[in-house]
């Protein structure tokens, strides 16, 4: 508790209108939100690089974001850091009765799947309670944040729909759907309809996310990995062109393809 108190005190001083940091004082929830997202991504990056020293630093940066938001909320009279901690502690205890309940109240789950179903049922009850007396009809899609990365949000939306049976039971028709959407992009291009092209490409991406989900692949991680792979190979292409004193931008496609294949071959050999 003394460690977190030090951090809370640091944030309090940074936000002091008279003696604090001018930049920190002028921040709002909206201006800080992008930094919160950035720090979360940097935590993920450190994990993927298996850099534990960096992970320690990045987790500290992410914790600072939580403290920053809590401090601004406290100043506005909404809640404070202790309320944030109480909220998550209560939620975890409520969602894990098989761990925290006592005696006959402690449920026994036969499998990970039954445990997951109970978890989702509790989350659904929480969403219903949060909706309260709102007149809008409760939806299985309620609570999926709009600002999630698009691939992640698409996967979450699809998973929610699948819970109520709106899903294919096997992967084969998903392949067919991907092919269908790609063909519709082709047709839109042939018809020279830019707006429809954009819509159809969105449908292709959505259907590919569906394919990833059925293959139990996280689409965000898969695309991130492929982007890193492309970047790594492209930099090898640049290096190979420089070794031969070639202006990359002036090379024909055939030469670029040759350099690309050389980069792939080098990478494959290094991985053996």
Is 142 a domain residue?
no
Is 136 a domain residue?
no
Q: Find the mean pLDDT for residues 99-126.
A: 83
Same structural domain for residues 157 and 78? no
Is 144 a domain residue?
no
What pLDDT score does 136 carry? 58
User: Does the pLDDT at position 220 exceed 70?
Assistant: yes
What pLDDT score does 55 carry? 96
Local confidence band at 271 (pLDDT 50, 70, 90 cut-offs): low
Same structural domain for residues 194 and 226? no
Q: Domain boundary residue among 199, 217, 235? A: 217
Same structural domain for residues 73 and 112? no
What is the residue range of 257's domain? 221-271
Pick from 29, 35, 21, 32: nearest CA to 76? 29
Q: Domain boundary residue among 50, 76, 95? A: 95
Same structural domain for residues 127 and 175? no
Q: Domain boundary residue among 217, 247, 263? A: 217
What pLDDT score does 15 carry? 97
Is 243 a domain residue?
yes
Same structural domain for residues 61 and 107? no
Percent of the chain with pLDDT over 90: 68
Is 137 a domain residue?
no
Same structural domain for residues 12 and 70? yes
**Domains in the chain, number:** 4
Is 143 a domain residue?
no
Model confidence, pTM: 0.66
Same structural domain for residues 32 and 65? yes
Express each pLDDT in 10-60 by its tens digit.
Answer: 999 999 999 999 999 999 999 999 899 899 989 988 998 899 999 999 999
Q: What is the CATH number of the domain that holds 45?
A: 1.10.287.1080
Is 11 a domain residue?
yes
Is 141 a domain residue?
no
């Amino acid at each position: 508790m003394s460690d977190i108190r030090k951090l809370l005190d640091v944030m309090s001083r940074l936000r002091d209108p008279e003696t604090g940091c001018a930049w920190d004082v002028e921040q709002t929830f909206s201006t800080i939100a992008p930094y919160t997202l950035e720090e979360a991504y940097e935590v993920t990056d450190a994990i993927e690089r298996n850099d534990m020293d960096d992970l320690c630093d990045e987790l500290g940066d992410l914790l600072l974001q939580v403290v920053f938001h809590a401090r601004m909320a406290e100043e506005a009279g909404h809640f404070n850091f202790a309320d944030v901690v109480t909220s998550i502690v209560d939620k975890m205890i409520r969602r894990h009765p098989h761990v925290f309940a006592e005696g006959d109240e402690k449920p026994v789950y036969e499998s990970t799947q039954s445990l997951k179903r109970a978890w989702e049922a509790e989350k659904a009850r929480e969403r219903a309670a949060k909706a309260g007396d709102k007149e809008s009809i409760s939806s299985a899609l309620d609570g999926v944040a709009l600002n999630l990365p698009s691939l992640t949000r698409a996967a979450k939306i699809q998973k929610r729909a699948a819970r109520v049976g709106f899903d294919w039971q096997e992967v084969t028709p998903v392949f067919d759907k991907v092919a269908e959407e790609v063909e519709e992009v082709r047709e839109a291009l042939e018809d020279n309809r830019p707006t429809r092209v954009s819509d159809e490409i969105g449908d292709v991406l959505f259907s590919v996310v569906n394919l990833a989900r059925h293959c139990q692949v996280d689409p965000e991680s898969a695309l991130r990995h492929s982007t890193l792979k492309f970047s790594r190979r492209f930099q090898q292409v640049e290096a190979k062109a420089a070794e031969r004193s070639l202006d990359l931008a002036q090379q024909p496609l055939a030469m670029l393809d040759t350099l690309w294949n050389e980069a792939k071959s080098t990478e494959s050999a290094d991985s053996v």
